[in-house]
A and B are shown apart, each in its own frame.
Chain A
Amino acid sequence: MKQVVEGSHAVAEAVRLARAQVISAYPITPQTHIVERLSEYCADSTLAARFLRVESEHSALAALIGAASCGVRTFTATSSQGLALMHELLHWASAARLPIVMANVNRAMAPGWNIWADQTDSLAQRDTGWIQLYCEHSQEVLDTAIQAFRLGEWLNLPVMVNLDAFFLSHTYEVVDLPKQNVVDRFLPPYQPRFQLDTKDPCAFNQLAPPNIYMEMRHNIQTAMDDALTFFGQMENEFKNTIGRGYGPVEAIECEDAEIIMVTSGTITSTSRQVLSELRKKGEKIGLLKIKLFRPFPVKAMRELTASARKIAVIDRNFSFGASGIFAQEVRAALCNHPGHPMVFGYVAGLGGRDVTTAVIEEIYRLTKESDLPQQESIWVGLHEVEHAVGQS
């Protein structure tokens, strides 16, 4: 049924519909509405789950690692500093092959203290072995959070569903909530491949000497490779039962595009508007939305950008000393592909600065007017400042 729902509550509804069994979280702005709603559902028995209140995000994930090891469906939500505090256990969750699902509300890292949208928090966790997905609107948030359980449980990998602070987490819009029996058909009860069981005692996560550690790591990569195939299969099932699908990447008018804008999160939605306006003016612009970031959809990226001359990647994130992180990934995906387009990197919208239609048009114009990328990243809309630490 279609309803007007806050983005955070779209996550909570997905977790309710997924029948999560253990939820553990520590509140942090702008994620708090997710676990607030879930704690209400646990308190009034709308959701038959155990809600664990803990003293930190580190403990929140530690609790879920314990719960998931016992073979139950688990969920947590966090944001920025909270996610950073989980870092050690992010590795643990993936290497222990536990299908924990997390919603991360993309928020800037401090200092300076900032609660607004920025993807550096989750992208800084890209090497922890979690599947990472980025959402454009609240419907996609709800659908992706349901899909995340299916994906994670099939692959025995944890899944992080990312949504922009405020632009999604605190925005109300129309969302179609699927019925419980329909979600149950798509997502049957979790059947763990292994679990702690007092009747059949065993030990997990013991010493792994050099002769087996590498194989364990290779297994995780094999699961990541499988994820690219299984994602399509999973989405087909989702389409057949629930009626929607997104794809690991989505190409909009890329076939004849000379310049393809590459985006993720809510910037994609605003870019759709820019695309339709510039197309009306005869500009050969295309748009490529990246939803699946880990594993990175290299093959799809190569195929969908093959006919373009230039790619303009918009990053609401940054890796100091290098460039925007999506731009790095796109360059890495294309570099061994003969005749690939040039990759222009742009950084915009850090710390919640608005990425307006004017900003996106400016990025398109800069790309059109440049023959070659001059820098790894061009910072768009940067104000001039008088003093910078470390400059002589």
Chain B
Amino acid sequence: MVEIRFHGRGGQGTVVATILLAKAFFRDGYYVQSFPLFGVERRGAPVEAYLRFDREEILIRTNVYTPDHVVVLDKTLLDSTDVTLGLKTGGWILINGAELPAYPNSWSPYKLALVDATHIALNTGLGTRTHPIVNTPMLGGLAQVLGMPSMEAIAKAIQSEVPSKPKANIKAAKMAYEQVRVLEPVKHSKSASKRT
């Protein structure tokens, strides 16, 4: 079983991202389970959402504590949230951004990837200039680094689930799939090292 945690802000489509990804993995033959952090949602507030997928039926019905990978839709969250909390060694941290933000030494056990989902969202007309909706490009980026689910499954999930601008969303996901950058795990010198 694989568990993925998404960090975003209310209004970015974080919860929808996990639903789309669940539907894409289901199309590729997996059992899936997705759910938001069970809280009170507000625009702009930190949001978490989760996905589980497995070839076998998923029995566990608890929160996700030790994700295999994390996806960060808004890098300003890195200042206030330890996105690596419980993250398994060797897991991916996929961040929305043009440049890699400074990160602590405690990130050395993880694999880092960067995709400029905001730029892609703005260029494909997703959301507004002040509130770009970055969820579908993040899915494209994730599909590339994980090697799954297939872009075809993601495109079909978007086509059937996204009522507004499905074509632009599919285009954005495909652009991110091509543009995502995998980074060498270089240690930066930010002192605030928080290992959990």
Contact = CB atoms under 8 A, between A and B. Distances in A.
Interface string B82-121: 0000000000000000000000000000000000000000
B19 A166 contact: no
B35 A166 contact: yes
A149 interface: no
B38 A166 contact: yes
Given A4-B22, A4-B23, A4-B26, A171 B34 contact: yes
Contacts of A3: 26
A283 to B, nearest CB: 17
B33 A269 contact: no
B22 A269 contact: no
Interface string A168-197: 001111100000000000000000000000
A23 to B, nearest CB: 24
Given A116-B38, A174-B26, A270 B33 contact: no
A32 interface: no
A166 B61 CA distance: 10
B31 A172 contact: no
Contacts of A172: 18-19, 22, 32-35
B60 A4 contact: no
A354 interface: yes
B35 A357 contact: no
Interface in B1-39: 18-19, 22-23, 26, 31-36, 38
B38 A266 contact: no
B61 A266 contact: yes
Given A269-B59, A273-B59, A355-B62, A173 B33 contact: yes
A145 to B, nearest CB: 19
Given A4-B26, A174-B26, A357 B62 contact: yes
Interface residues of B, number: 20
A352 interface: yes
A356 interface: yes
Q: How large is the interface on A (under 10, 10 to 19, 20 to 34, 35 or more residues)?
A: 20 to 34
B164 interface: no
B59 A4 contact: no
Nearest to B23: A4
A116 B33 CA distance: 19
Interface in A238-288: 266-267, 269-270, 272-273
B53 to A, nearest CB: 10
B45 interface: no
Interface string A1-26: 01110000000000000000000000
B32 A270 contact: no
Contacts of B33: 171-173
A31 to B, nearest CB: 14
A318 interface: no
Given A273-B59, A273-B60, A354-B63, A4 B19 contact: yes
Contact of B32 (A166, A167, A173, A272): A173
Contacts of A171: 33-35, 61
29 contacts: A2-B26, A4-B19, A4-B23, A4-B32, A115-B38, A115-B40, A116-B38, A137-B61, A167-B35, A167-B61, A171-B34, A172-B18, A172-B19, A172-B32, A172-B34, A172-B35, A173-B22, A173-B33, A174-B26, A174-B31, A174-B32, A266-B61, A269-B59, A270-B59, A270-B62, A352-B38, A354-B63, A355-B62, A357-B60
Given A170-B38, A174-B32, A272-B59, 17 more contacts: A2-B26, A4-B22, A4-B34, A115-B40, A137-B61, A171-B34, A171-B61, A172-B35, A173-B33, A173-B58, A266-B61, A269-B59, A270-B60, A270-B62, A273-B60, A355-B62, A357-B62
**Which 6 pairs between the two chains have the least Cβ-Cβ distance?**
A166-B38, A266-B61, A171-B35, A273-B59, A172-B34, A269-B61
Interface of B: 18-19, 22-23, 26, 31-36, 38, 40, 58-63, 65
